[in-house]
Amino acid sequence: MADSFHAPARRPEAAIGPGGASQPVRALPMRLLAAALSLLCAAAGLALALRYPLGPPWAAAAVLAAVAVCTALRPGLWILALPAVLPLVGFAPWTGWITFEELDMLALAIAAGGHARRALERARPAHPEATIAMATRLLVVLFALSILVSLVRGVDDAGGFQFGWFQGYQGSMNSVRLAKSFFLALLLLPLWRDAHAADAGRASRWLSAGLCLGLAGASLAALWERLAFTRLLDFSTDYRTTALFWEMHVGGAAFDGFLALTVPFAVRELQTAARRWRWIGALAILVVASYACLTTFSRGVFVAIPIGLVVMGSLAVRQHAVAPATGVSLRRWLGWAALFGVGYAAAAVWMFPVAGYRGLLALLGAFALLLRLGGDTGAEAPSAARSVALALALSGLVLAIAWALPRGAYVAYALAFAVTAAATCAPRARWIAWAGYSALVLGLGLVCWHWGGEPALTHALPVMAVLLLIALALASSRAGRPERGWPSSLRWQAGVLGCMVAASAGVGVMVGGAYMTDRMSTTEGDLQTRVDHWREGLSVLHSPAQWAFGVGLGRYPASYFLLHDSIDAPGDYALREAPGGAVLALSAGRKMLGWGELLRVSQRVRVPRQPVQAELQVRAEHPTGVHLEVCEKHLLYNGGCLLKEIAVPATGGNWQTIRTPLDGAGVTGGQAFAPRLLSFSISNRTEATLLEVRDVRLIEAGGGDLLVNGDFSHDMAHWFFTSDRNHLPWHLKNVFVHVLFDQGLFGLCVFVLMLAGGLWRLALGSARAHPLAPAIAGALVGFVMVGLFDSLVDVPRDAFVFYFLLLQALTLHGPRRT
């Protein structure tokens, strides 16, 4: 991508820049505004750092100062760094923060450094597209106004503003939590535009690479989660990955939304990376991300990401006649890839139920070598006589090995694969490759027969016949007609192989796992549940003001509680001041369905030395019960546990001290390569009762207390709540319904106009030729598709990325011809 992305803009007012080049002068009012923003962001970031619950406050402040200085000295580097770390810097289960988080501190530090540089620089980078359309400006201003109005309405609905570092979803700070993402994105937009104007190619590459690295971090976290808490190929257990998206402590699709936003950028990296290490890295990331997508077991993800990629591919074909860095027609590049992917997926679905994972692996190997055989190598057609003679000889050897050895089918397949793979690397040995491939296809049948018997072989025979016919057709048409084959580019072949690996995992999940099968069978009922949930949520809107401007940001959980107060209201918690110290009040839900419906207040702990004893003081107006546990648990799903449930009589205003050992087979930290996290949790297990708790201790063998802030003297620092199975009370489960509820018809109309305007500009308007346009469009479409069945914009990290990309869609311009 060329550095001179745009033609230089002509400005009547200029300053002399490096090398004697003229640059536009930044107006003094704009510099003063930048200085004010820098000071405000620095003050806000410092305030957050000094109250950060983890580690010494000065350490957090030092990190933020380093980020601000780095941004000031190296403008634009944050474009790569912030998306890369975003899915990893969510430590709410350790800090106890919900309203504020690490993203806020990083974004404020970046804004402080970036706007300070803008204030100090007299000259600014030339913006060829500096004039943003008036309609775009109006939409952004109206949406900001809508959020501010809804913020005020949400605070008023909560009974007035009451600041708190550790408020939950019922208080007024939840309105602040939902408002901040758009304004953080808006705050960083000028810094992006400066970096883009200075070097558009570099800024685009950094953003794409940053989002790709963010996908890598999130996917590796999901891989760790699966390794730690369930088996890698266990697709039947009810366990859906959440990675490090703590926002899913009350359900939702935070991880799903982030995958939809970032997968298109990893595909872009694979398509455009000029260096081999970069596209190999992108391919590896996509393979791991495919596994992560599948283990969400989300029907929305399975639909949204393919649709987003189709949108991206369509726009990329319109942009490029030739695939970047390959010299191959992009239409042909994508067409052959789709044909191979669909063909392999169909064969895998056909064979997997009876041939199992071993048959699937053998099928993958056969398709992988077919990719190598049919590329545009320019090799001459092999000698028919020599190829047939060698094919017969190798096939006989394969049969002999399969018959003679106990697991001979696998040995024979491996031998045929090695011979064929080696021969594909030398053009003069292509005739050996064609012969070896015939033996390999025979080995495929033997592997299936060895694993699944006659039914597996019967299923394999049609696939074997098709593969042999394709190989024969290719062998007979090679001389002088390389255009009939698919691309010989290693990048293309590796990309298609990665797609087939992802398809293999998809077949394993969809066909080999009982959990996904069960979920698919309940799709119609789940959709009706969603529709009823949306109707119930919108029934809260009564007055014209509510329909026009919404109930207020973040007010749905409280509204749900009021709607269900006498039926099945969820549990809740609150910290109260009382004589003798702070008290944690735990209210149980009115409809207890089992283990997963308990609302838990938890704290991360290390692996204890057993036996373990819990000590706490409790009181209750009515007979109730306390549930105590130490579980191997990441977020929503537990492994081994130490447990105790104790009946608590009505104590009135008196406190009762409980000292009890926790029972169970024990808990471990898991394997060294995939450690398991542990949580201590406390909950009220008796329906429609209130339990008060204070002075909680968790004593391991030797007398050490594993808990921090067990007396709640530092508010709810280090404590975190989860609702493991009861998720509807916390989300409206549709992004458009959510915006309507929070911001009313006014906010929804502006939101839809912004989204439609951004997509129109990327597909048909002035941004359609920008290198990032296809990926941004694919990301936005994928995100909205996931958002048809979940709220998403109530997840600050997801919402920040979404709004940042949406603002780019509204402000980017394609390259101008000089």
533 CB-near residues (< 8 Å, 6+ apart): 728, 732, 733
- pLDDT tens digits along 221-253: 999 999 999 888 777 788 889 999 999 999 899
Strand-strand pairing, 624-633 and 638-648: antiparallel
Which ranges of 544-693 does DSSP label H, i.e. alpha helix? 544-549, 556-563
pLDDT band at 751 (very low <50, low <70, confident <90, very high): very high
Residue 818 has pLDDT above 60, yes or no: no
In this structure, of 66-80, 427-441, 446-460, the range with the lowest mean pLDDT score is 427-441
Nearest to 667 by CA among 641, 636, 643, 697: 641
The residue-averaged pLDDT of 629-656 equals 90
Q: For the chain, how big is the Rg over CA atoms in Å?
A: 30
For the chain, give the percent of residues with pLDDT over 90.
50
Q: Which two tokens stand for residue 352?
A: 């997997």
Residue 2 has pLDDT above 50, yes or no: no
In this structure, of 177-181, 437-441, 693-697, the range with the lowest mean pLDDT score is 437-441
pLDDT band at 8 (very low <50, low <70, confident <90, very high): very low
DSSP for residue 33: H
- pLDDT tens digits along 687-708: 888 999 999 999 999 889 999 9
In this structure, of 88-92, 466-470, 490-494, 538-542, the range with the lowest mean pLDDT score is 490-494
Q: Note the pLDDT of residue 255.
A: 96
- pLDDT tens digits along 309-365: 989 988 988 887 555 555 566 677 777 888 888 899 899 889 988 888 888 899 999
Residue 15 has pLDDT above 70, yes or no: no
Instruction: List Cα–Cα distances, 410 to 369, 447, 812, in angstroms.
Output: 17, 6, 55
Residue ranges of the chain that CATH labels 2.60.120.260: 571-725
For the beta carbon of residue 639, count every other beta carbon within 10 angstroms: 18
Task: Report how far residue 603's alpha carbon sits from residue 599's, in angstroms, rounded to the nearest whole number.
Answer: 13
Residue 306 has pLDDT above 70, yes or no: yes
Residue 516 has pLDDT above 50, yes or no: yes
pLDDT band at 26 (very low <50, low <70, confident <90, very high): low
Average pLDDT across the chain, whole number:
86
Residue 805 has pLDDT above 60, yes or no: yes
User: Strand, coil or helix: what is 249?
Assistant: strand
Q: Note the pLDDT of residue 89.
A: 93
Angle between helices 735-763 and 556-563 (to 10 degrees): 150
Decide if 208 contacts 274 (C-beta within 8 A): no
Identify the bridge partners of residue 584 per DSSP, sorted by sequence position.
575, 693
Q: Note the pLDDT of residue 7.
A: 38
Answer with the residue of higher pLDDT: 83 or 393.
83
Task: Report how far residue 442's alpha carbon sits from residue 412's, in angstroms, rounded to the nearest whole number.
Answer: 9
The residue-averaged pLDDT of 366-379 equals 74
For the chain, give the percent of residues with pLDDT over 70.
90
Q: Note the pLDDT of residue 523.
A: 75
In this structure, of 141-145, 506-510, 742-746, 795-799, the range with the lowest mean pLDDT score is 506-510
Task: Report how far residue 496's alpha carbon sits from residue 508's, in angstroms, rounded to the nearest whole number.
Answer: 18
Architecture of the CATH domain 571-725:
Sandwich (2.60)
Most confidently modeled range among 44-48, 59-63, 378-382, 519-523: 44-48
Percent helix, percent strand, percent coil in the chain, to nearest 5: 60, 10, 30
Residue 679 has pLDDT above 60, yes or no: yes
The residue-averaged pLDDT of 796-801 equals 96
DSSP for residue 710: T
Distance of CA 317 to the CA centre of its chain: 26
Instruction: List Cα–Cα distances, 568 to 118, 366, 461, 612, 682, in angstroms.
Output: 54, 55, 56, 34, 21
Task: Report how far residue 326's alpha carbon sits from residue 16's, in angstroms, rounded to the nearest whole number.
Answer: 40
- pLDDT tens digits along 41-100: 999 999 999 999 998 888 888 999 999 998 888 888 999 999 999 999 999 999 999 999
The residue-averaged pLDDT of 640-648 equals 92
Contacts 24+ apart (CB under 8 A), 6-9: 6/128, 6/129, 6/197, 6/200, 6/813, 6/815, 6/816, 7/128, 7/816, 7/817, 7/818, 8/126, 8/128, 9/126, 9/127, 9/128, 9/130
The residue-averaged pLDDT of 11-20 equals 45
Residue 764 has pLDDT above 60, yes or no: yes
Q: Note the pLDDT of residue 770.
A: 93
Q: Note the pLDDT of residue 484.
A: 55
Residue 715 has pLDDT above 50, yes or no: yes
Residue 737 has pLDDT above 90, yes or no: yes
In this structure, of 82-96, 102-116, 571-585, the range with the lowest mean pLDDT score is 571-585
